[in-house]
């Protein structure tokens, strides 16, 4: 019976599927990833096909340990080793000059590749059982809300994935921070699980940021991303009143509200989802994608999403909310 199950903790089965060129959904501290052998171009192609992901959106390569860096990238210097030693395993992705061992498809033809060591016991154990790294974007249809538990993957991609490693809920719940170190000037390409202030404190200086692109040099940077099926509009403070006033009563009654830490007394409790009642940014980040999914599953007329305080992880939360709302019009 166990052999027929789609979800479980059978690492030998997961490793076998990956060696054969198949796909396995893997848990990480950020979100669940759709993994394939990063050195097998045909296996990597199947990631793009299953996700319906554009070929110009590069993938992150997951390593078992920092010591593997020299095999896949050029120019591993003292700063890179220091960052790896301090932040790995963890939600920091480094963009570095790639060696030819990494297929063009993984890097979308760029001279660089994004790499990290994930912080999840099961996935790290899996990586030690195979002799290749894993290319693994989020395990969801391209552009939709990222999965933070195995059920999300099973519901959306289950029929197209060889196996789903059951690793519980993602502990961070936001994708990794992406830091480009491929040139002399470090650049943050994507906000994520490590606040930029923490990186800047470690490095001792302000880091340049380049956070939006139609043709990205890092994953998750397309203008419209992380989107629910329904319209999602963001707001701050009392701006919701103006948004709500422009809606017809029937549509307003069918709306749902994503709140940061406090409920709106004017709105029915069952129409609201609070990310963190204590205002904890880490808790809010961990709950963000689950909240968007659950609200979207109610088939609301619209989701009104309150922005988080624009500090620390709040910046990454707001980045995801803005990308989820970009393609949608007003009420």
287-316 pLDDT, tens digit per residue, is 999 999 999 999 999 999 999 999 999 999
Is residue 199 within 8 Å of 82, Cβ to Cβ? no
| CA quadruple 213, 139, 114, 174: dihedral sign | positive
Per-residue pLDDT at 212: 56
pLDDT at 295: 94
**pLDDT > 50? residue 189:** yes
List domains and CATH numbers for the chain.
2-209 (3.90.870.10), 232-325 (3.40.50.11030)
Whether 221 has a pLDDT exceeding 80, the answer reads no
How does pLDDT run across 17-63, given as a tens digit for each residue?
999 999 999 999 999 999 999 999 999 999 999 998 777 689 999 99
CA distance 73 to 157: 31
Q: Judge whether residue 12 has pLDDT over 50.
A: yes
Asked if residue 256 lies in contact with residue 298, where contact means CB atoms within 8 angstroms, the answer is: yes
Q: Which of 221, 58, 93, 28 is nearest to 47 (CA)?
A: 58
Q: What is the CA radius of gyration of the chain?
A: 20
Q: Report pLDDT for 252.
A: 84
Helix (H, G, I), strand (E, B) or coil at 237: coil
Strands 60-62 and 187-190: unpaired
Please give the pLDDT value at position 330.
Answer: 38
Distance CA 319, CA 226 (A): 10
SS3 320: helix
**Token output for 180:** 């480009």
**Digit-coded pLDDT (tens) for 91-125:** 999 999 999 999 999 998 899 999 999 999 999 99
What is the predicted pLDDT for the residue at 220? Answer: 57
Alpha helix (H) residue ranges in 212-280: 239-245, 249-253
Percent helix, strand, coil in the chain (nearest 5)? 35, 20, 45
What is the mean pLDDT of the segment spanning 186-210? 95
pLDDT 10s digits, 266-277: 899 999 999 999
How many Å from the N-terminal Cα to the C-terminal Cα in the chain? 50
Alpha helices in the chain (DSSP H): 11-19, 41-51, 69-72, 78-87, 104-107, 121-129, 150-157, 196-203, 239-245, 249-253, 281-297, 313-325
Which of 176, 205, 198, 170 lies closest to 189 in space, CA to CA? 176
pLDDT in the model for residue 328: 45
- The residue with greater pLDDT, 329 or 67, is 67
């Amino acid at each position: 019976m166990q052999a027929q199950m789609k979800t479980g903790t059978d690492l030998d089965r997961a490793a076998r599927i990956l060696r054969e060129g198949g796909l396995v959904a893997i848990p990480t501290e950020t979100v669940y990833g759709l993994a394939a052998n990063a050195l097998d171009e045909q296996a990597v192609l199947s990631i793009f096909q299953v996700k319906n992901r554009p070929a110009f959106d590069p993938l992150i390569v997951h390593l078992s340990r920092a010591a593997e860096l020299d095999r896949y990238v050029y120019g591993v210097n003292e700063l890179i080793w220091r960052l790896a030693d301090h932040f790995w395993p963890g939600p920091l992705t480094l963009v570095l000059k790639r060696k030819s061992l990494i297929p063009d498809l993984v890097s979308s033809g760029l001279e660089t590749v994004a790499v990290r060591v994930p912080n999840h016991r099961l996935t790290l154990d899996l990586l030690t059982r195979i002799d290749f790294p894993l290319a693994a974007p989020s395990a969801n249809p391209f552009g939709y809300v990222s999965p933070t538990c195995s059920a999300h993957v099973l519901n959306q991609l289950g029929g197209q994935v060889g196996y789903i490693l059951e690793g519980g809920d993602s502990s961070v719940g936001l994708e990794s921070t992406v830091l480009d170190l491929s040139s002399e000037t470090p650049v943050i390409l994507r906000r994520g699980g490590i606040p930029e202030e923490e990186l800047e404190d470690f490095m001792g200086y302000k880091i340049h940021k380049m956070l939006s692109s139609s043709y990205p040099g890092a994953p998750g940077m397309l203008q419209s991303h992380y989107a629910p099926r329904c319209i999602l509009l963001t707001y701050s403070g009392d701006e919701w009143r103006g948004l709500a006033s422009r809606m017809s009563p029937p549509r307003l009654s069918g709306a749902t509200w994503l709140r940061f830490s406090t409920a709106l007394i004017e709105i029915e409790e069952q129409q609201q989802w609070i990310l963190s009642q204590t205002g904890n940014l880490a808790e809010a980040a961990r709950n963000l994608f689950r909240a968007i999914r659950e609200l979207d599953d109610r088939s609301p007329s619209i989701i009104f999403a309150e922005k988080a305080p624009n500090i620390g992880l709040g910046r990454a939360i707001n980045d995801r909310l803005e990308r989820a709302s970009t393609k949608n019009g007003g009420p």
